[in-house]
Amino acid sequence: MEGVEGFLLVNEGLVAAMMKKASSTAPGEELISANILKVFWEWDRQIFTGLVRACIRVRHHLEPWKTARGVVIPKANKPDYSQVRVYRVISLLDTISKLIERMAAHLIGDHLERSKGLHEGQYYGCRRRRATVDAVVMLMNRTERVWECKKLAGTLLMDVQAAFNNTNSRLLRRRMRELGVQEDIVRWTGSFMKDRYVRLVLDGTEGELHKVETGIPQGSPAAPILFITYLSGIFEEVEWECKGVRALSFADDISWWAEGKTKEEVANKLSNASKVACRWGDKNGSPSIITKARQFSLAARGKHPWQRSEQEAQRSSLTKRPPGGSECGWTHILHSGTTRKSC
């Protein structure tokens, strides 16, 4: 598929497949449901196919589709709902717009899978046939191999702050070009993220329109693949600068994994990984990329190689506040060794 423009890959069969994925979720500003769209699809398929191809070909996302209804939803099991951060905004987008976004997401994902732009063992979530259990099996498989060599292993888990909201359009498009994504798709992405507006809806009450300066609308079919494309650069940088550290991610949750002969060796590797990760965030528009960080020692059941006193834990390099301002501590994971899979 090298050198082939994205719009040339769009055909009626592919649009039909995208149409089948249209769900019955709440419509956007135009109040046209997916079911109504499917009726019109059966009436004249060529119009929809031509519309999708034209949007990709001219590298433009129409202005009426850039206004979203942002429904404010509280996060579950939070102690204090007077805090703004315990709420998330889900964007309800126009149904026709979501059809085009779904097509763009398919073209980007298909290119990255074919070109192996996303490392096979790093990225889970937001990809086909990459589930949570696969990420866990990959982590435990790495660890069990290290145990067989009589070494220690540990992982540092990090969470990306406001993942979709902090995605920078210019840096995302630069990363897409680095990964060889078709230029018409890259420029369509720029148009899709430019001059967006949102009308917040809280408890059924609609507010005024507000311009969105940065980020990808959470709720867009294109948001997951665009986000992991944007974030993919952090893994290359950390693994290049921190020899022996391996990355694993599920959407906006990141795991840095390291092995060593001593707990100090593993802790130093993970500490360096956290610093490089935060530096990457500073360079790429996410200065507070890390909101939570937690270091885990991985030990077989019945063995506690990293057990220490509370005083020792306080002196650990990773119990200090890492760059980015998040807390980090130690937790022990005991594994029975019954789960094994060759990856």
Q: What is the pLDDT of residue 87?
A: 85
Could you give the CA distance from residue 184 to residue 3 in angstroms, rounded to a whole number? Answer: 11
- Specify whether the CB–CB gap between 222 and 126 falls below 8 A: no
Q: What is the pLDDT of residue 188?
A: 94
- In the structure encoding, which two tokens stand for residue 215, read together? 């980020």
CA-derived radius of gyration, the chain: 22
Tokens 């501590």, residue located: 329
Query: Would you give the DSSP letter of residue 270?
Result: H
User: Residues near 191 by Cβ (< 8 Å), separated by ≥ 6?
Assistant: 59, 60, 61
290-300 sheet: strands from edge to edge? 123-124, 245-250, 253-260, 152-160, 290-300, 330-335
Q: What is the pLDDT of residue 3?
A: 47
Global pTM exceeds 0.85: no
| Nearest of 194, 192, 198 to residue 210 by alpha carbon | 198
Tokens 């917040």, residue located: 200
Q: What is the pLDDT of residue 193?
A: 93
- Specify whether the CB–CB gap between 192 and 14 falls below 8 A: no
Q: What is the pLDDT of residue 319?
A: 33
| Nearest of 341, 314, 309, 339 to residue 329 by alpha carbon | 314
Could you give the CA distance from residue 296 to residue 234 in angstroms, rounded to a whole number? Answer: 21
Q: What is the pLDDT of residue 334?
A: 34
Q: Could you report the average pLDDT of every consecutive run of 10 residues in the chain (343 residues)?
A: 57 68 65 76 82 87 87 85 81 84 88 77 67 77 85 84 80 92 92 90 84 83 88 86 86 84 86 86 64 57 42 35 39 36 30
Q: What is the pLDDT of residue 5?
A: 63
Cα–Cα separations (whole angstroms), residue 131 to 123, 126, 127, 134: 10, 9, 8, 5
CA angle 99, 162, 97 (to 5 degrees): 10
Burial of residue 78 (number of CB atoms within 10 Å: 0-12, 13-18, 19+): exposed
Calculate the dihedral angle through the C-alpha atoms of 328, 332, 336, 342, rounding to the nearest 10 degrees: 30
